[in-house]
Structures are given as structure tokens and as C-alpha cells.
Structure 1
């Protein structure tokens, strides 16, 4: 069985990154993964959220410069937390021969989690990059868990989730292998 990974970069756009917890660190981790993906020829798919809160073409909608898609890289536009819903993500991944998605981006408990779970339902193996996703910076008060706890919580959920016929791994970026195994 061959393993063909693709790096998935979700919603790393100017407006979301401006409110992100540990934004610079997360951008640096994903930028490093992008360079490693390019070095081994692994596909990189950038997902851009758009809609009322993030109108297409605006400065806030644009992907942060450090992660901007290069010519020829796939870009998928979405309007919900699910990067597969009403988009061409599945078709794009299948056309590239992808069997495993390496998930990074914003926001941990919304778009990252939803897309990772939907990837399993679409029959992809999943690697959640433990230090490659983030959420909004927010005070400890309120109904949301503090950012560090939310990230750790979701990493732990994915370490323990079981899905028939699928492999799910949570790895630090330093342990992610983006080379295809045919």
C-alpha cells in the first residue's frame, strides 16, 4: 500500500492569523513544513476561508506572505469549517494521488478539527501536526478553553480517535515525513 501525503494549510490568512495564539510560531512551523514538502515534491494544498466575515480579495482574506501558495500549488476556497463541504478539495487530493493529509492551520477546534475528521470520512489517513495548528488568543475567562489547553485537548483526542481502515497520528512537525512511499 502506498502512502502519498499532502500538506494541508487551513485558513492561515491575515485576519485569522492576526488574532491567533502563538501566531509567529505556528506560521514558522508551517513554513518549515512547506519547505520540506517542496523539497520532496509533496503536494501543498492551501485552504482559504471566505464569506461575510472574510470577503474574497480583501487584505484579511489573503494568505499570510510566509505561507502564500506558489504558482502551480492548489488553492481551495471554502465557506464553512469543513474544507470538503461544497469545495473541490476531495477532487484535488484524488487528482494528486493523495492518500494521507498532513493537517495544519487555524482554528484548532473549528476548521482544523472539522477538516481532519472529514478527511477520515473521505478515506484519507490523517496526520495532525501537534505544533502546526492554533486557535484564537483569548482570555482564560468564558466558555472556551484557554488556547494552549484547547490545542493540547485536540491533539489528545486525535491521538486516541479510532477510525475503521484509517491511520490517525499526531506528530510534532520535526517528526512529520512528507516523502511518498510507493
Structure 2
């Protein structure tokens, strides 16, 4: 079956949610998107990081219960910030007829950013869900921006990226329209 859109849920794993800024709110936003995607027949692809302390089959590695993939859902395992690198994500999306990815998850400035940019390079339109991605809870220091600033910064940057032949949108979850897919 062909789908224009797919919802990507990146690295919403127990250990990462435990250190996330506004984890409860972000999980709720993504869970709502997931319900709407499933109701519209839009595929949901869960992306799960392996390595760097996230060892397979450990509690921290598992996806948070509210977003646990169904038995027939695609789960992509990755070992880098790029969900496309050395995975079957591109092949899976192409087989589903996907032309647009709706991007959510953890961490804003690492895996979410890298995956969204790589989606553009793989010729997908990108919808970055403005309230559907998060990063680690941390103070605003000289080394790192606060989570609020990092999320706002990435939302602003993606509103201004120009990528020939691709459409990029940054919208709140309430404005994601899976029925239009």
C-alpha cells in the first residue's frame, strides 16, 4: 500500500526519556500523533538507538510504554545520529511509497536534526513537529543552550532551510494533517 507520509518516532527510549526536558508532555504529543497516524492508515516507524549505553534488551533501551510499537510496526535499529546510515529506513520508506516524513523524538540537536536533514538528502519532504521533539534537561551554559533555546533554535532553523526540490515545514502537532496524506 502506498502512503505519502510516515511518522518517524526517534529514540523515545526509557533511558533517554528519563533525562529529557518535558518528557511527559513530549511523549503525550507523540502518542497523539501516533493515534492520528494509525487512524489515517499512515505508517509509523519507530527508530531505536543501540550502543553508547543503550544496550539491546535492557530496560533503558526499550521504547517508552506509551509509544511502544505494535507487532506489525516497522522498527529501525540505528547506531549513529543518522537514522538512515547503515539501516533499512530509506528502503522501507520507499517500499511504502512515502514522500514525506513527519519527524518527532529525541534529541533535538543530534538525532532529530541529523535524521531530518538526511531525509531531505534522501529526497523526502520534511515536517518537523515543533512540539514533538525534545532534548536533555540541562542548564543554559557556555557549552550548551538550555533545552528551551535548543528546541526553539532548531524550529527556527528548519523554517529557513532551503533545499532544492523539497518542502520543509515546522508545525505544531495540532496542525499535522495525516488525512491530507
Please give the TM-score of this superposition, normalised by the length of structure 1: 0.96
Q: Distance in 2 between matches of 1:142 and 1:44?
A: 37
Gapped regions of structure 1 (runs ≥ 5): none
**Contact residue 42 and residue 178 of structure 1 kept, 8 A:** yes
Q: CA RMSD in A?
A: 1.2
Moved more, 41-50 or 51-60: 51-60
What residue in structure 2 maps to residue 149 of structure 1? 149
Alpha-carbon distance, 1:53 to partner:
1.4
Aligned counterparts of 1:21 and 1:65: Cα–Cα separation in 2: 18
SS in 1 for 2:114: helix
Secondary structure at the counterpart of residue 152 of structure 1: helix
Change (3 A) 1:45 1:107: same
Displacement, 1:37?
A: 0.3
Structure 2 match to 1:169 = 169
Residue deviations 1:37-58, cap 9 Å, x none?
0110000000000014110110
Q: Deviations over 1:116-157 (max 9, x none)?
A: 000000000000000000000001224110000000000000
Consecutive unaligned residues of structure 2, counting only runs of 5 or more, are: none
**SS of 2:178 mapped into structure 1:** coil
- Equivalent-residue separation in structure 1 for 2:101 and 2:19 (angstroms): 25
Q: Which residue of 1 aligns with 2:32?
A: 32
The residue correspondences of 1:101-120 to structure 2 (distance < 5 A) are 101-120=101-120
Give 2:50's aligned residue: 50
Q: How far is 1:110 from its partner?
A: 0.1
1:10-55 per-residue CA deviation (whole Å, 9 max, x = no partner) reads 0000000000000000000000000000110000000000014110
Q: Counterparts of 2:52 and 2:137 in 1: how far apart (Å)?
A: 22
Residue 3 of structure 1 and its aligned partner are, at CA, apart by 7.2
The number of aligned residues is: 180
